[in-house]
Each structure stands twice: as structure tokens, then as C-alpha cells.
Amino acid sequence: MPRILAAEIMDDPGQSEADFRAALDGLETLNRITFAHAPLRRFLDEVVAESGATSLSLLDVGAGGGDALRAAAAWGRARGVALDLWGLDRSPWAERHAMERGTPARWITSDLFDLPAERRFDVVMCSLFAHHLDDPTLVRFLRWLPAHAARSWLILDLHRHRVPWAAVWAGTRLMRMHPMVSHDGPISVMRGFTRADWRRLLEEASVAAEVRWVLPFRWAVTGRGG
């Protein structure tokens, strides 16, 4: 199954704020019912176990509605780790949506490549963001990550496979999700990755990382900061 870079409505700057925010709510629902943030919590456990850190700054790239940041905040409270949380998203509507959902983070509305070179965080992560990038941009992003992460970085994204494609296609329709989610969800899976994709992209970027398959049909790509 080749990687197909069909257009997602969510990436269209001409969409309305109401549709964008409805789609974010739908994505949060999908993340919740698929336990999508469990790999993030395991990653943070590993960072703290290795470093002994009692406080961390964390940047979520492509933060959208902020549900990954809220999951990180809950993890920090449970573990007694103080977190300085930041969200970055180029959408002018993402911050307002995330704040209305109670996301305990500061926000940067910007293209990620406009972030100053000296701006660094202990941990940089992204969830379901990388598949929005074409290969050359993703290679650039892979080089960007260790430059802005002082300790570690994490990419969580979709495994391109017929099973999750069928599950997302059927599930979004059975749950009568917003049309943008029903349209974009299966396309997101087709824009996802295989292990061979990650090996090729990391080699092209000359970046060392560990690639792990995690439930349900996702990849966790982790590397050390620069």
C-alpha cells in the first residue's frame, strides 16, 4: 500500500473556524477511544526514569485542540513532575479551542520552522502531525527536532495499513462524526507510514532514532536531543 498524499480538508486554510473546531472535537474522541496517548505517557515515564528529572518543559508541535497536552498534564500530576507545557500550531483557531477545553499550556501560533533556533525545550513531541508533511518537509522536520529538544523527542503517527483504514472509514461514519473527520480520517491513514518509510526518512535526514510499533496501529519514533 503506497503512501498517498491526498489532500485533507483540515489543511485547507479556507475552511471555517466552526468546521475546524468540530473536527478537533472529533479527533479528540478518536484519540480517547483508541487510547492514543498511552505511548506518550510511556515515553515521559522513560524520560524521567533515565534523567531523574522532577520538572520538564514540553512542546507539542501541531498541538491542535490540545488533548495531548492535557494528557501530559494529567501524567505530570500523577507522577509529581512539574511540567511547563507549550503548544505550537499554525492555525489561528487552535489556541482558542485548546484554552476553552482547559489546556494548561502556553501557546505559539506559528509555522514550526519559524521558531527561533535558540528556542529549546526539554521534550518536543507531536501526535498525528507528521503524516500531514510530504517527505522532503518531514526530513527537514526530523532534523529540526533534535535541534529544539534538549533531552528527547517523540513522533506518534499512523501505521499505513488496510486494517486501520477500514476501521477509521467505518467508525467515523457509524459514529456520525463531522464530515471533515469522515473525509480526512481514512486519508490520514493512507498518508501514514510503514517501518520501511521511517528507516528511509531517518537515513535521509541523518538522524538516529528508535522506531517502535505501538497499539493501535501506530508508530512511536523517539530520539535524543541535540
Indicate which CATH number applies to the domain containing 201. Answer: 3.40.50.150
Residue type, 21: R
Mean pLDDT of the chain: 92
**What SS3 state is found at 199?**
helix
18-32, 57-71, 200-214: which has the minimum mean pLDDT? 18-32
Q: Is residue 4 part of a domain?
A: no
Per the model's pLDDT, the better-predicted residue between 66 and 177 turns out to be 66
Residue 144's pLDDT is 98
Q: Is residue 2 part of a domain?
A: no
Q: Is residue 131 part of a domain?
A: yes
d(CA 214, CA 218): 5
Q: Would you place residue 21 in the very low, low, confident or very high pLDDT band (cuts 50, 70, 90)?
A: confident
Q: Is residue 50 part of a domain?
A: yes
* Chain segment 26-57, per-residue pLDDT in tens: 888 888 888 889 999 999 999 999 999 999 99
Q: Is residue 68 part of a domain?
A: yes
> What percent of the chain clears pLDDT 70, i.e. is strictly above it?
100
18-22, 58-62, 78-82, 154-158: which has the minimum mean pLDDT? 18-22
* Chain segment 116-170, per-residue pLDDT in tens: 999 999 999 999 999 999 999 999 999 999 999 999 999 999 999 999 888 888 8
d(CA 53, CA 147): 20
Q: Which has the closest alpha carbon to 97: 85, 110, 109? A: 109
Q: Is residue 13 part of a domain?
A: yes
Find where cell 486494517 sits: 163
11-15, 161-165, 221-225: which has the minimum mean pLDDT? 11-15
Residues spanned by the domain of 149: 9-224
- Rounded to 10 degrees, the C-alpha dihedral 14/116/208/156 comes to -40
Predicted TM-score (pTM) of the model is 0.93
**What SS3 state is found at 74?**
helix
Question: What is the total count of domains within the chain?
Answer: 1
**Whether the predicted pLDDT of 81 surpasses 90:** yes
Q: Would you place residue 176 in the very low, low, confident or very high pLDDT band (cuts 50, 70, 90)?
A: confident
Per the model's pLDDT, the better-predicted residue between 32 and 220 turns out to be 220
Residue 33's pLDDT is 82
For residue 46, give the C-alpha cell: 522513560
Residue 87's pLDDT is 98
Find where cell 531523574 sits: 52
d(CA 49, CA 117): 28
31-35, 64-68, 99-103, 189-193: which has the minimum mean pLDDT? 31-35
